[in-house]
A and B are shown apart, each in its own frame.
Chain A
Amino acid sequence: MIAGLALAVGVIVGLVLRPTVPHWLEPYLPIAVVAALDAVFGGIRARLDGIFDSKVFVVSFVSNVVVAALIVFLGDKLGVGGQLSTAVVVVLGIRIFGNAAAIRRHVFRA
């Protein structure tokens, strides 16, 4: 509930304020968003499984974002930033799909 409301509030604030992304953040923001989405989907799934833990959620959310950004940063430094961000997106995408499937089974029983 709170999470959904906060998400909506964040989207609205972002749309209203129209901030510009700082240049140094540009490569990392999309990856961080995908990583955070992965954490959120995992949280929803855990909630439905009845094993949701806010601490785990918070830690995994932050660590997901940090690790994803770190991987991309490292990739940029190594000259494979584009490929590594693709890799991160693919991995996170697979996880999101897996979690979405679990959520779907819970919600629709199918």
Chain B
Amino acid sequence: MTNDHEADAEETQPPDDERSREELADEEPSNEELNPERDERSREEPPAATRRDEVAFGSGIAPELASGAGADPSPANRPVRDRIRLRRDKKSAGILIGVLTAILGFAIAVQVRSNSSSDSLSNAREDDLIRILDDQNARADRLNQQIADLQATLDELQRSGNSDAVAQQQAERELQSLEVLLGTVPATGPGITADITDPQHKLKAEDLLDVVEELRGAGAESIQFGSVRVTTATSFTDDSGGVQVDGQQVSPPYRVLAIGDPKTLDTALNIPGGVAATARNAGGDAQIVEQQQVDITARSSVPSPKYAAPGGR
């Protein structure tokens, strides 16, 4: 407010200055810089008084002593009256300043409180509120867009996850059937048991292989010969002591388990000139029993391929 102060002083001084120039001519060239109180007072006073005042200022006398009611000619009374008036003025001015600053403090406290207590929106201007609302709307739109995007991604992932699960189930079923067919897992189901006796050890490896081939031809899905699971790689070999199946010595009576359609399997073994006939010709017999449930417990081990790798599908 110095600026105000100065501005104020500038406003008030020029007339004063003019006046003093008019009246004092060139007597006091530099009294503008004097105490502003002088301005105030000198404005109130009739022009005639200023002359003396200015002179007094110029001569370095304290303004409050020098100034006074211009009409009063007595120099003795003047300072006393002036002091009283000045004191009254000063008092009322002090009160006024106190009131104003108290109002300022009050306003500061109120403003700070209202700004911090209530949410700032209630104090905001209309256009500010509109802008805030716009911002929020834009933000909501962006977030909605994000939600939609993420939802789409989620749906896609779920779909692919579902198809993955289906594919996995498919693969597992395939794996299970392959395991059954390969003989790496126990199998159960309807089928037949065949007990082939050969008291004279006349049945050769190829006769036993015939049994397996007949069963396969009749659609047997899983075959156990003695204690050996018959797979695609199973071998039947003659040796001095009898027959080896997959390098394992087997001796009569041979017990063969097969899972498949019992009737078909039974028929396949009993066809004229078939397995049963061969056994009887060799002096033995073949007892074939159809079963509702045949449990094949022997397992074969599949060596992992050394050279062949899965080709592209």
Could you give, for residues 10-46 of chain A, a 1 whenever the CB lies within 8 Å of some chain B CB and a 0 otherwise? 1111110011110000110110110011111111011
- Complex Cα spacing A59 to B37, Å: 14
The stretch that binds A, out of B1-9, B70-78, B170-178, B193-201, is: B1-9
- Complex Cα spacing A19 to B117, Å: 12
- For A41, list chain B residues within 8 Å (CB): 1
Q: Which residue of B lies closest to A39 (CB)?
A: B1
Chain B's interface size range is 35 or more
The stretch that binds A, out of B100-108, B243-251, B273-281, is: B100-108
- Complex Cα spacing A43 to B4, Å: 9
A14 touches B3 (CB 8 A): no
A107 within 8 A of B: no
Q: Which residue of A lies closest to B95 (CB)?
A: A2
Classify the interface of chain B: helix, strand, loop or mixed.
helix
From the candidates B1, B9, B39, B108, name the one contacting A99 in the complex (CB within 8 A).
Answer: B1
- If A6-B99, A41-B1 touch, whether A14 touches B94 (CB-CB below 8 Å) is no
- If A27-B125, A79-B127 touch, whether A46 touches B5 (CB-CB below 8 Å) is yes
Chain A's interface size range is 35 or more
A57 touches B104 (CB 8 A): no
Closest 6 CB pairs of A and B: A42-B1, A10-B105, A14-B109, A54-B93, A60-B4, A10-B102
Chain B contacts to A: CB under 8 angstroms: 1-5, 8-9, 35-37, 39-40, 89-90, 93-94, 96-111, 113-115, 122-123, 125, 127-128
